Amino acid sequence: MSNLSCVNRALVFIEENLKRRISLEDIADAANYSQWYFHRLFRVLTGHCAGDYLRRRRLCEASYELLYTRKPIAQLAREYQFESQEAFTRSFSALSGISPGRFRRQISSLVYFPAISLDNSYSHLKKGAKNMKVRNEQKPAFRVLGVHCRANPSSTLHHLWNDFAKRVQEIPEVLEPDKAYQVCVFEGSDPATEEFTFIAGMAVNEKAPIPEGMIAHTVPEANYAVFEHRGLLDSLHNTYQYIFGVWMNENGCQMAETDSLEVYDQRFKPNSPDSVFEIWVPLLKD
C-alpha cells in the first residue's frame, strides 16, 4: 500500500473518531506505520502535524454545533475530547479569535478547517518532478558540531540558522569548510509531542572541542537517497511531498529510523530562484 493510501486511511480514521478518545499512536496504527515514521509522513503529505490536525478538525465540527444546536459548551468540550471546558475555550479562542460563548451569541462564521483527502493527490505531486536529480549515497558516521533547538517539524527554523550564522566562526576543526548540515536527530524524537532536535552545524574532527552553548552529535552511518531542491524555500514543501508521496512509492523504499539531513554548499543562494541544496533521506536496507 502506498504512503498516500496509508495516510488517507489515517485521515478517514480521524474523521470517524472525532468524538472518541484516540491517541497519536492509534492514528499511526490506522496507517500501519511506526509513530516516528507516520508523523513525519503525515506532516509532509498534509502540511499539518497529526495532533494539530485532529484538534483543528474537532474545533471545526464543534463550531457547527455551537451555532446549530443548544448543547452546553461544557458538553461539547467533553464530546470533542477536551480535558475541560477551559481547555476547549482556550483552543477555540486561539483558532477563531473569539470565545465559544461570544461565538454563539454573535452567530459568527463557522471555523473553517475542512477534512483533507489525498485520494487524487498522486498526479498532482508528480508534476514538475521529472527533472529532479536523485542519487544514492552510503555515508559513514560523522560528527556535526553547531547550534540546536527543539522544534515541531512544521515550525520555521530561520531562528536556528540565524544563530548558526552568528556563531559559525567559532566552530573548530571543520572538515568541510564549504558545507553546512541541518540534522533532524532521530534519537530523542518524541512522536507524542511531535518535537525533534534540529542541529545546524558543520562536520568536524572527532576530538574537536565544543564551544559553550553548542552541541556535538554523531550522525550514524546510513544509506541515503539524495534529492536536489531547486529554487526558493517557498516551494520546499512541494519537494518533500514528491519525495514521500511519489518517489518512495515508485521505488519501493521506506525511510529508516535514523537521522535525516539537509546539506547546504556553495550552490545555496538565499532568496534566489537559482538556489540548490540537498535533502538526504535515510533508507531502510533491503
Predicted confidence at residue 135, as pLDDT, reads 94
Predicted confidence at residue 42, as pLDDT, reads 92
Report CA 173 to chain centroid distance, whole Å: 32
221-268 per-position pLDDT tens digit: 999 999 999 999 888 888 999 999 889 988 889 899 999 999 999 999
The three cell numbers of residue 202 are 558543520
Q: How far is Cα 143 from Cα 202, in angstroms, rounded to an integer?
A: 8
CATH 1.20.120.1080 fits 3-106, yes or no: no
Predicted confidence at residue 74, as pLDDT, reads 97
Tell which residue, 272, 231, 255, 248, has the closest CA to residue 134.
Answer: 248
**Share of residues in the chain with pLDDT > 70 (%):** 94
Residue 139 in 3-state DSSP? strand
pTM reported for the whole predicted model: 0.87
User: Which H helix or E strand runs over 4?
Assistant: helix 3-16
As a whole number, mean pLDDT of residues 111-137 equals 79
Query: Looking at domain 134-282, what is its CATH homologous superfamily?
Result: Regulatory factor, effector binding domain (3.20.80.10)
> 114 versus 1: which is more confidently predicted?
114
Does 134-282 match 3-106 at the fold level?
A: no
Q: How far is Cα 270 from Cα 216, in angstroms, rounded to an integer?
A: 26
Residue 128 pLDDT > 60, yes or no?
no
- What residues does each domain of the chain span? 3-106, 134-282
Angle separating helix axes 3-16 and 24-31, nearest 10 degrees = 130
As a whole number, mean pLDDT of residues 155-175 equals 94
User: In 44-80, which positions are buried (b, 16+ CB within 10 angstroms) versus exposed (e)?
Assistant: bbbebbbbebbbbbbbbbbbebbeeeeeebeebbbbb
> Of 58-62, 94-98, 128-132, 244-248, where does mean pLDDT reach its minimum?
128-132
What mean pLDDT value characterizes the chain?
92
Predicted confidence at residue 154, as pLDDT, reads 61
As a whole number, mean pLDDT of residues 171-175 equals 98
> 285 versus 84: which is more confidently predicted?
84
Burial status of residue 187 (CB atoms within 10 A of its CB: 0-12, 13-18, 19 or more)? exposed
256-281 per-position pLDDT tens digit: 999 999 999 999 998 899 999 999 99
